[in-house]
Amino acid sequence: MNASLTIQMFFSIVGGLGIFLLGMKNMSEGMQAVAGERMRKLINAVTNNRIIACGVGLAITSLIQSSSVTTVMAVGMVNAGLMTLTQAIGVILGAGIGTTITGWILVLEIAKYGLPTIGISAFFFLFSKSERIRYTAMMILGLGLVFFGLAQMKAGFTPLRNMPEFIAWFSKFSPDTYFGVLRCCLIGAVVTAIVQSSSATLGITMGLVGAGVIDFETAAALVLGENIGTTITACLAAIGASTNAKRASMANVVTKVIGVAWITAIFPSYMILMKKIIGGDVTTVVMVNGVETFAHAMKGIALSHTCFNVINVIILLPFTTLLAKALCRYMPDKKQKTEPHLKFLDVRMLDTPAVSIEQSKKEIVRMSEDVTTMLTRLKNVLTNTERDRKNEGKIFRMEETLDVVQKDIMQFLSSLLSGNVPHTVMNDGRKQLRMADEYESIGDYITTILKLNLKMVKSDMKMPQEAVKDFTALHDQVEKYIAFINEGVKEENADVLVKAVNWGNRITRHIKEYRSGHLERVENGQTSALQSLIITDILNSYRRVKDHALNIAEVLAGEK
């Protein structure tokens, strides 16, 4: 073999594959940015209706052009308890159909427009000030890179069809027998598992068949194996996850294996049917942009890929509940020693910013609920005549958890915002970072109040009855104030600020009144100096709780 030709082929194939993958990434990120709000609505639309769940999986995969990302996202949401196993199976089945769109994109006979598409869209991406236009241009730029990369790969593969050594080697994997089909499936599965991208292996396969290096049947068998190989990504994502998430990952494997099992049993007949539907000879050479291309064979691969996944979904969709029960039976729950601090967030969802930012919001809402619970427990401690060690311990533990959650949210959002994300996601992420910090500070001051109360208890100091009434009234006001702010966070209501400012001012006035009453008791000798300092610090801590809650309202209104 000519060394110069070998190097040229290698550069063309590797370079084309790199351009192809970069194009898929840009196209996916552009689509997610443009359709981010729709993706959020789609995720929220997932119900126990298996058909709707399947449709959501199809739609999301069509938008992000990656069944692996959709499946990993489903595993992450099952791990977070946001999606049931049955719902996840429906989404995974739909993702199988959605990923077949990649094949149809590759058969579009517009490869000659790849470079002009890249050039024009690049100008809009680089110089447009409108974010929507930039991300739309990014999506089109990715599409152009996909076509250009595929053309480069086909050019690199073309010399292989005239090399006797390669033909002799590849003939060993011809799908002319049942075991030959299985060998091809195995190759497709192994290669896809290694590169962890069915889009990459599909692009390589389409390039090989388009260049005439392999025949239609071999390519079809390879693509079947690629359906199994792509499940490795979700399997890796399930490592360290909950048992239910592992079940979702296993459901992905089982559905693909079952599908390949029945299709390989009727493979020859299936190939005959595909050729009839195509309506053209798969060995016919078509000149595209001056290059010989087996266009009918490429269309046949896209068609066989789509038909296989559609039929497989039709067969398996009625049995999603049964499959979920079987997985629960053979993969029983294991007792977890510790519950993860983050309930809704999972690094598995970082590849889908529009969904990730929605889930991080749920974590902020959970922090707000924990703060409310801490205030309720604090009131029980302050008003109880006997020492309430149970609630004291729970408040301290909840404050420690808030610290960890705030740190984890910061790490998660920092990873998310460091990527290429639209302005809306960036803005929401910054708001959430600030709110997480404010809620953590509120938890700190609630604990401070508890510590000050314990200091009085350990010093055998009894709070005057008037002071008890003042603190009870103040606590109720602050607790209602926090609940009002929390509701605004949950509903993303930017209009809470006006009421929050007025309400906060009233609380501040009441704190001043309580401090004046306390100073009068000090002057009358009803309160000791140490007790006076503690009561003053408690009042200041309540005021700081109010201030941090007001900061959250300002974040919602976009002022900070």
Instruction: Quickly list H helices, 35-159.
Output: 36-44, 50-64, 67-79, 85-98, 101-107, 114-127, 131-157
Strand partners, 287: 292
| Rounded CA separation 549/481 (Å) | 8
| Rounded CA separation 304/220 (Å) | 7
Ordered by where they begin, the domains of the chain are 3-330 (no CATH), 347-556 (1.20.58.220)
Strand partners, 291: 288
- Taking a C-beta distance cutoff of 8 angstroms, is the pair 212, 161 a contact? yes
pTM score: 0.70
Taking the alpha carbons of 57, 61, 67, 70 in that order, is the dihedral positive or negative?
Answer: negative
| Rounded CA separation 224/305 (Å) | 7
- Taking a C-beta distance cutoff of 8 angstroms, is the pair 113, 329 a contact? no
Q: How many CB atoms lie within 10 A of CB 1?
A: 10
- Taking a C-beta distance cutoff of 8 angstroms, is the pair 546, 371 a contact? no
3-state helix, strand, coil in the chain (%, to 5): 80, 0, 20
Identify the CA nearest to 41 among candidates 21, 22, 59: 59
Q: Cα dist. 417→353, 378, 437 in Å?
A: 9, 36, 17
- Taking a C-beta distance cutoff of 8 angstroms, is the pair 232, 192 a contact? yes
Q: What is the pLDDT of residues 104-128, one digit of tens each?
A: 887 776 556 778 888 888 888 888 8
The pair of structure tokens assigned to 364 is: 């902020």
Q: How many CB atoms lie within 10 A of CB 179?
A: 10
H or E segment and range at residue 499: helix 496-523
Q: How many CB atoms lie within 10 A of CB 131?
A: 14
pLDDT tens-digit profile, the chain (560 residues):
567 777 888 888 888 888 888 887 887 778 777 766 676 677 666 666 788 888 888 888 887 777 777 887 787 777 766 778 888 888 889 988 988 888 888 777 655 677 888 888 888 888 888 878 888 888 888 888 887 887 788 777 777 666 666 666 665 667 788 888 888 899 888 888 887 777 778 888 888 887 777 888 888 899 999 889 888 877 877 777 678 888 888 998 999 999 999 999 999 998 888 888 887 666 665 555 555 667 778 888 888 999 999 999 999 989 988 998 998 888 887 655 444 455 555 555 666 777 777 778 888 998 999 999 999 999 888 887 777 888 889 999 999 989 988 888 888 888 887 777 777 788 888 899 999 999 999 999 999 999 988 888 777 777 777 777 888 888 999 999 999 999 999 888 888 889 999 999 999 998 888 888 777 777 777 677 677 788 888 889 999 999 999 999 999 888 75
DSSP conformation class of 338: S
